[in-house]
Amino acid sequence: MCNGFIKLSTACPITNVGDTDFNLKNIKSCIDKALEDNSKIVVFPELSITSYTCADLFNQKKLLIKSEEAIENLCLFSKDKDILIAVGAPLYYNSCLYNCAYIIFKGEVLGIVPKSYIPNYSEFYEKRWFSEGLGIINKHVNLKFQNEIPFGTNLIFTCGDLKFAVEVCEDLWVTIPPSSYLSLLGANIIGNLSSSNELVSKASYRKNLISNQSARCMCAYAYASSGVFESSTDLVFGGHLLIGENGNILKENNRFNRENEIITSIVDLDRLIAERLKNISFRDGIKLCPFDALEIPFQFSNLNLGEFTRYIDKHPFVPKNIDERSLRCSEIFNIQTAALAKRLAHTNLKKAVVGISGGLDSTLALLVVLKTFRLLGIPSENIITITMPGFGTTDRTYNNAVSLCKKLKTDFREINIVDACVQHFKDINHPVENHDVTYENVQARERTQILMDIANKEGGLLIGTGDLSELALGWCTYNGDHMSMYSVNCSVPKTLVRYLVRYVAEKEVPEDISNILIDILETPVSPELLPKDKNGEITQKTEDIVGPYELHDFFLYHFIKTGTTKEKLLFLAENAFKEDYDKETIDMWLEKFIKRFFTQQFKRSALPDGPKVGSISLSPRGDWRMPSDASFNSFL
């Protein structure tokens, strides 16, 4: 595979009912088009060699002879073509007729898979011609041009990490589809050769079915259905083509096309393998398989993807669709508030303490506390908000902090930490003019001490403000802002924090408060631990030091979600951010991310409690258990 990616296609050729020569010509045309797209697998509809709607013509010997000749012709055609072909045709075997998928590669039928379930209800009456293939495994058939071809429902065609299997139409609609068993046995790409007629709303149901099956099986799912040139005596077919991957529909055509049609998409096998590796329940399901797989190896000549057309989202934590993003923000707030409400109820505390810097994270934490207190019927005056100006506090962040806390009617307090820090520098014999890490951490720990002590004094819960991105990078002071009594933002990445604050600004507060929130959003991210410049502006911008958060959130998502290697991360980031950063810049920050992620694990190993809101979390109690002294060398 090329970086774990492979291109695959589904096709709907023009057909004439019962005209195998005509159908074969169009099937070949679609194969050539798939090859032009650098596709390595192409899936055709059910019985596409003969067409699906031949009815009693399936009992005619001539049609079966012509069908086998067409398969032989297709094998000859494929000899010098580096593509795996799944095409539908009947098979006469042991006095029975089977509706089958023929898997062809470089001049040879690698295997034949019969349709397991034969529909015989409503508009379908396939049992009039076909026998069910359910239970057929480890058989072999002879054709006129090739002998001892594997025949059964347990076939998996393997090429390195690629493991391809097929099922036929109705097989997907049953309670336990064959693809469920085949996936448990290792298949990570499932092809479905189908003839699903069009009824009102059926396309939507079909799409959901494929999406759900690809998610349940943690696989890619390539679906091809017969088109409009099937007989319309009683039914109409739309030629629905779909490619799904682990719950997402990567590609879908517009139905009712009157030309040869093919869709192609790139699937990420590494992602599927990683998902399965983590999911113990998926692995345990193999105990239920009623048969063993028969693996049939083959080998592609090359795996060149050609143009990389797969969309890579540069902000994987943030939905692009505005409505979906709004729903996501609402859901996260509900999770955060429900979690905090439970903790307050358990401790029987009626007060909360929040350190407010005028930055994004503390603002989000305050908004969560405010919403929780409203939920519990506790007045906002019970929220103790404390701003603690230090050596680097700017007028902009200070004024925003003061204004926000007062307008939200919290119990606002101001405690300047400069004198306390200067005294501490004297106590530990540290020069005030030495602006090193000790200089910075003294301030962070002084603030945390104040917050902890006031929480004890007032009988309140100290709310942590740090976010997921900071935890990934270790961009926090150990036993300083790293610590709290409950951390509401701990699994919210920085790129999403912005949208959560913006969501409140646009939808939930009056204009005067909204204006403050908008200005906070536009303020550069900074811990403000170094002195201001001569104009009173921020000198310490976080992203200048550790790198752009949008890059780090991208790295974090793929590193944790799929265990992506550095090489592949670089490849993905280059494609996602090709208009924003050059390769050298991405590589520089990627190395920084990996080094910091490993060396800062000791902070994550001692995290306070906090709610998981998305699929990525670094909680040491469940989601991410890693030795604090693990080496990053192999990962670079």
Who contacts 500 (Cβ-Cβ below 8 Å, separation ≥6)? Answer: 329, 332, 333, 364, 367, 492
Neighbours of 629 (CB within 10 A): 9
Report the 3 state secondary structure along 15-31.
CCCCCHHHHHHHHHHHH
Tokens of 527: 């811990």
- DSSP β-ladder status, 248-252 and 241-245: antiparallel
Q: How far is Cα 68 from Cα 98, in angstroms, rounded to an integer?
A: 13
**DSSP one-letter string for 205-230:** HHHHHHHHHHHHTTSEEEEEE--TTS
Cα distances (Å, whole numbers) of residue 277 to 281, 432, 543, 612: 10, 52, 34, 21
Q: How far is Cα 392 from Cα 440, in angstroms, rounded to an integer?
A: 10
**Angle, CA 467 vertex, CA 461 and CA 470 arms, to 5°:** 125
Has 407 been annotated as catalytic?
A: no
Q: How far is Cα 377 from Cα 243, in angstroms, rounded to an integer?
A: 49
**DSSP one-letter string for 160-191:** TTEEEEEEEGGGGTSSS-HHHHHHHTT--EEE
Q: Which amino acid is at 340?
A: L
Q: How far is Cα 398 from Cα 263, in angstroms, rounded to an integer?
A: 55
Tokens of 200: 């009102």
Q: How far is Cα 222 from Cα 42, in angstroms, rounded to an integer?
A: 9
CA 536 to chain centre: 43
Q: How far is Cα 327 from Cα 486, in angstroms, rounded to an integer?
A: 25
Q: Look at residue 73 and give its three-state secondary structure.
A: helix
Task: Select which of 28, 40, 81, 115 is catalytic.
Answer: 115
Q: How far is Cα 101 from Cα 43, in angstroms, rounded to an integer?
A: 9
Neighbours of 612 (CB within 10 A): 16
- Select from 358, 386, 370 the least CA-distant residue to 457: 386
Q: Look at residue 303 and give its three-state secondary structure.
A: coil
Find out whether 97 and 131 touch, Cβ atoms under 8 Å.
yes
Has 566 been annotated as catalytic?
A: no
Buried b (16+ CB within 10 A) or exposed e, 321-352: eeeebeebbeebbebbbebbbebbeeeebebb
Neighbours of 438 (CB within 10 A): 13
Ramachandran angles phi, psi of 349, nearest 5°: -95, 145
Has 46 been annotated as catalytic?
A: yes
Who contacts 615 (Cβ-Cβ below 8 Å, separation ≥6)? Answer: 561
Task: Select which of 28, 30, 46, 81 is catalytic.
Answer: 46
Q: Look at residue 201 and give its three-state secondary structure.
A: coil
Q: How far is Cα 121 from Cα 119, in angstroms, rounded to an integer?
A: 6
Tokens of 239: 């030629």
Tokens of 172: 């997907």
CA 490 to chain centre: 20
Task: Select which of 12, 54, 159, 169 is catalytic.
Answer: 169
**Which residues carry out catalysis?**
46, 115, 169
